[in-house]
Each structure stands twice: as structure tokens, then as C-alpha cells.
Structure 1
Amino acid sequence: MGELEVEKHVRNILSVEKKKDGFESLVIEHPRMNGAYWGLTTLDLLGKIETIDKDEVVSWVMKCQDESGGFSGNIGHDPHLLYTLSTVQILTLLDKIDVLDIDKNSISICRFSYIAICCLSILRHLEKINVEKAVDYVVRCKNLDGGFGSTPGGESHAGQIFCCVGALAITGSLHHIDRDLLGWWLCERQVKSGGLNGRPEKLPDVCYSWWVLSSLVMIDRVHWIDKEKLARFILDCQDRENGGISDRPDDAVDVFHTYFGVAGLSLLEYPGLKAIDPAYALPVDVVNRIIFRK
């Protein structure tokens, strides 16, 4: 199967921030908060979070806050709910959630069902929305094939399925899912190479090692796929010389696919990696400590 190049992946992630004029750094200029979440979570799953200066990260994160309470993708940019979730995940990961004005932040969240539900759950403020109505909307996005679309009647897609299943898992509403039917649809996403795609007739992509696997874990059907072949596909997408993971073998690596590749391996219980929570997309020990107070 091969080995995960841990030290090289760590160096690759840390190098992105240092190379301010590099291509990868430039293309994530706007969604840098997302990139920070992907990179930091990857480091934590690899057991290497101590390689970064937490106070420096927190200082930068707080400079991205808008007066509305929400956060932007980078300093001086407009706030967005997606970047606000990444911010909350980063601060939760670093055990620095106390720097937030939680009441102000939770009020700023108003749309995007999974992101809002996940973020409010982490902040322990789910009561600020009508959870029953939010769940009802997610359920109306369910299709006859067992999958979910982005809106009622929309095509089933693995990425959107994760959002819907994650929202239902966090709200304790997984009983609305036909687990066998959805499990079948998700397992059909595995192709001959062992990789997973997002919908029928598409190429495999390492990122679906998260979108598909996490959903299968949440509905207890992950044993329906060939986990060894999938792990081999992810490992084959590594840049064994410089570190990082790409979407498919021999393509250019990036922090997005590096995170989802390592997260996928974590769900596959790859040796040496920390466990990741399939609904919150954070290490299990962080979720237990911060969200469930265990």
C-alpha cells in the first residue's frame, strides 16, 4: 500500500504560508481562512500541530472579523458564513474559542444549512434557529435515489450529501435517511482505481475520500466499500519528493486535497493518524473536549 509521507506533508503545508508570491499562496488569497483550516487540521491529524505558533494564528484570525460578528477569508475582505465556520473550527482546534464574542458571532449566522448548524452547534447556540424547520428543509432535499441535492429537486451529489447528512447527524435527525439506499448510492462512487467520485460517470478525486466516506461513517455503511483500495489511491496521490496530496496521481498538490486526503485516511483508521469526527470535520479529541465537554 505504501506509507504516508508525514514529515514531507508537514513541510509542504508550512511552506505555503511562507511563499507569499507562490502560485498556491496567490490562488488562496481570498479563501485563506479555509486554507488555514485545512492546513491546521491536517497538522493536528498528523500529530504535528505544535509546529505552528498558535498565538500568531489567533492574532491573524481575529483581524479577519467584521463588525457584524462574521469573519472574512482574509484581512480586509467581506465576511461570509463559510469563512466564519472555518474560523470557529480553527479556534476550536487551537482551544482558543474563548476569544470570540459568542453571542455576537451566533447572531451573524443566518443561512447555508449545514454550515450554520455546525457553527452554531460548536458555539452551543443552536437555539438561535428553528432546528425543526432547518431539518425539514434538509429532508426536502432528499431524492428518490437516497441522495441529496443542494435544493429540493436538485441532483444528488456527494458533497451536498455530506452537508445534509452532517446537518442531520448534528441535530440528531439521521432517522430521516434511508441508510441502505443512500449507502448503495455512495458505494457506487468507488471506481476501479479505488478512488471515489462525486456523481456517476465522473473521475475520482481525493476530496471525495472525505465527502463520501464521512457520510458512509455517519450512516454506518463504510464497510460496504473497499477501504484498502481507497487508501492505496490516496497514497498514490502523494508527492513523495516534496510532500502534499493531489486530486489524482501525478497532478499538482494543494493544501485542499492534502487535508481531504489525510482526513480520508483518518476515517479509514490509517495507523498513526488521529481520529476525525465525520460530522464536525475536526479531530475527535477536539470535538469531545470543546463541544461535548468530555
Structure 2
Amino acid sequence: MTLLSKKHIDYVVNLNSEMSKQSYEHWLSEHLRMNGLYWGIMTLVTLKSLDSLPRQSIIDFVLSCVDKRSGGFGAYPQHDGHILSTLSAVQILSILGALDELDKESVIKFTKNLQLPNGSFQGDSFGETDTRFVYTALSILSILEGLEEELVNKSLDYLKQCENFDGAYGMRPGAESHGAQVFTVIASFAICNRLDLVNDKLSSWLSERQVKNGGLNGRPEKLPDVCYSWWILSPLAILKKLKWIDLSKLEQFILDCQDDEGGVSDRKGNQTDVYHTCFSLTGLSIINDELYEGNKYDMDSIDPVYCMPYSATKTFKPWPYKS
């Protein structure tokens, strides 16, 4: 099977159509709207078709989601600010070259205020903590040049406590190792220029996530899911261990999960969604860069640390900042 690029582009564009906005599903998913917009934009970026959506309309929507009380972004206008929505907003504006329209200091303050004394981060004022939120905070602050030494050190200390006997990481200290959490920790280490903290066992754990049909799972004995084409593959890319799995078999697994009408599902034959479409294609981009010098799939190159195009991340200042 070949990559159905045009079908996937149309799939994302149709999700943003006026007709879909009148649907029950549209309003049911309001709490994911900012994240969903980012997933759709990253799909289009990866397929070199960002201009398929109206740039200014996207910017206007993102800015309409500012929570003026907290300084962060909600998932939808009038929603409370949350760190996940805030990262998606910052990523979108960065990709569109519109960070100058952002109140950076308010976003930096919002993000820093979510760090707890133990180094973890809350998602919002309601108090849930997760290694996802540490990565999210560090990513926001890295993009906006708001990292500080004390905050970085406390974050790293907390993340090290989330390491398990297998070298992988859970969502908090003592929690089960999970592929998505591994990404958040390894990408956090990369942002902070501390990949020396990675346990040598981790690459083996990551490589063991590949199953017989070529797909990757997030935990031992689980079914493969196409989204782990990003969550497992990107840490391997960061650690320069892509050859530890069979990339050709994973490539075929991803292509098999495509729907003939556009979009990608978690496994072959299931319902498509923009989340799995995004993270399967960004994973395929990593494979494309690794296996094919001629850019077989005509995809943009995606930074495995930020899940953004290198054209955007190349402008980010590395930590520690130099005066």
C-alpha cells in the first residue's frame, strides 16, 4: 500500500469544515479542540500542505482561547486555561510564525506557576500531576525562552524519580512504565541538554515494544497501536537507536492502518481519528528520513523532541542559554 497523502489532507480539511461544526461530535469534543487543531496542523505540515487551512482564521481562533484570568489557553473560547491546551496553542502559533501575537510573559508566568515544590507540574489549578505536564511545561518555556535553572533542576529531579527498574518511566513515581511517558521524559531530558540521565536499559525496553506485525505497543503484552509510531519511535530517534527496531515492518503497519477515504486508525480496519492520523504520519516521517535519502513519501522532517517541523524548531535557543 502507498501513502494516501491527498486523502489524508482532505480528511483534515473536512474536519475543519462548517458542516462538521454543526455536528454533535464537534461539540462533544470541545474540550479537545485546541489539541485537535494542533494534530490536524501537524498532519498537514508533515504532508507539506499547511496552506490547506486559512492561516489567519487559525490564529484568530487560537487567540480567542486565551484565559485572561490565568494567562494560559483553554481548549475552546471561555474554557479554563490548561497546560496541554497552552502548549498546543504555542506550537500552532510557532508553526505559523505568529508568536509575536502572543503575550509571552503571561504564558510563561502561567506555566511556571503550575510547578509544585517537588518539581512536578499540575495541568491546571485543580491539581492533577503527570510526567506529561513536566514535558509540556519545559516545551512551552523552551519555545518562549523562559527556562530557568532552578525550575529545570527541580523538573529533572522529579523525572528521575519516575524511572522504573526496566529503565522506562511512569506518569509519576511508582507508576507503571508506559511508552508515552517515556517520550515525555526523554524529550524533557533533551530540552534540558541532559540525555546523560538516561538509563542504558531504556533502548532495549523501547525496542521490545515492536510486535510480530511490525506495530509498536506502549506496554508489554498489549496490542500495537499506530500512535506509538511516534511515542516509541521518537525517543529512539532522540537516542539515535532507530536501528534497534525493524523500521520497514513498522512502515508497513502504518500504511495498513490507513483508511481508503483518508485518515489513520489505531489498528487496521478501525475508526480513523485525527490523533492517530497525526502521530502515525509524524512517525512515518522519521522512518522516511532514516530509510529513504530521496524522501520517498515527500514529507517534511519532524523534530522528535518537539513534534514540530525542524523549520520551526531550528530557531529555538538551546538550554542553558548563553549570554
TM-score (norm 1): 0.95
Q: 1:24 deviation in Å?
A: 5.0
Give the secondary structure class of the aligned counterpart of 1:249. coil
- 1:98 pairs with one of 97, 100, 119: 100
What is the CA–CA distance in structure 1 between the aligned matches of 2:44 and 2:235, rounded to whole Å? Answer: 23
Question: Residue in 2 aligned with 1:283?
Answer: 309
Q: Are 2:11 and 1:12 aligned?
A: yes
Gaps of 5+ in 1: none
What does 1:228-267 correspond to in 2, within 5 Å? Answer: 228-240=248-260, 242-267=261-286
Q: In structure 1, the residue corresponding to 2:300 is in which secondary structure? A: coil
Taking only aligned residues, the RMSD between alpha carbons, in angstroms, comes to: 1.4
The question of whether the paired residues in 2 share the 8 Å contact of 1:9 and 1:243 is answered with: yes
Summarize the alignment of residues 39-54 of structure 1 with structure 2, pairs less than 5 Å apart: 39-54=40-55
Larger RCO (CA within 8 A; separation ≥ 6): 1
* Residue 91 of structure 2 corresponds to residue 69 of structure 1: no
Contact 2:3–2:297 (CA under 8 A) maintained in structure 1: no
CA drift of 1:271 comes to 2.8
**Aligned residue runs from structure 1 range 174-253, under 5 A:** 174-179=195-200, 181-240=201-260, 242-253=261-272
Which consecutive segments of 4 or more residues in structure 1 shift more than 2 A? 21-28, 289-292
> Percent identity over the alignment?
44
Task: Find out whether 1:38 has 2:39 as its counterpart.
Answer: yes
Conserved in 2, the CA contact under 8 Å of 1:88 and 1:119? yes
**Change in 2 beyond 3 A, CA 1:128/1:85:** farther
Contact 1:106–1:128 (CA<8 Å) still a contact in 2?
A: no
Cα distance in structure 1, aligned partners of 2:211 and 2:22: 37
Unaligned runs of 5+ in 2: 115-120, 122-132, 289-295, 319-323
Normalising by the residue count of structure 2, what TM-score does the alignment of the two structures yield?
A: 0.87
Q: Determine the structure 1 residue equivalent to 2:30.
A: 29
1:175-204 per-residue CA deviation (whole Å, 9 max, x = no partner) reads 01124x111101111011100000011110
Contact 1:16–1:24 (8 Å) recurs in 2 = no
Q: Which moved more, 1:263-272 or 1:88-97?
A: 263-272
**Aligned position for 1:60:** 61
Give the secondary-structure state (helix, strand or coil) at the position aligned to 1:86.
helix
Q: Structure 1 residues 58, 129: CA separation in 2 closer, same or farther (over 3 Å shift)?
A: farther
Query: For residues 27 and 266 of structure 1, what CA distance do their matches in structure 2 show?
Result: 31
CA offsets, 1:60-104, max 9 Å, x none? 111100112100001121110000000000000101011011111
**What's 2:299 paired with?**
273
Q: Would the alpha carbon gap of residues 291 and 27 (structure 1) be closer, same or farther in structure 2, given more than 3 Å must change?
A: farther
2:267 match: secondary structure: coil
Could you say what secondary structure the match of 2:148 adopts? helix
Inter-partner Cα distance in structure 1 for 2:213 and 2:25: 27
Say if 2:142 and 2:316, in contact at 8 Å, map to a contact too: no
Q: Counterpart amino acid of 1:173?
A: R
| 1:137-176 alpha-carbon deviations (Å, 9 max, x no partner) | 1111111101011111211100100011110010011101
**Aligned to 1:108, what secondary structure does the other structure show?**
helix
1:291 is displaced (CA, Å) by 5.1
In 2, the alpha carbon distance for the partners of 1:51 and 1:233 equals 27
Q: How many residues align?
A: 289
By how many angstroms is 1:41 displaced? 1.1
Q: Which amino acid aligns with 2:103?
A: D
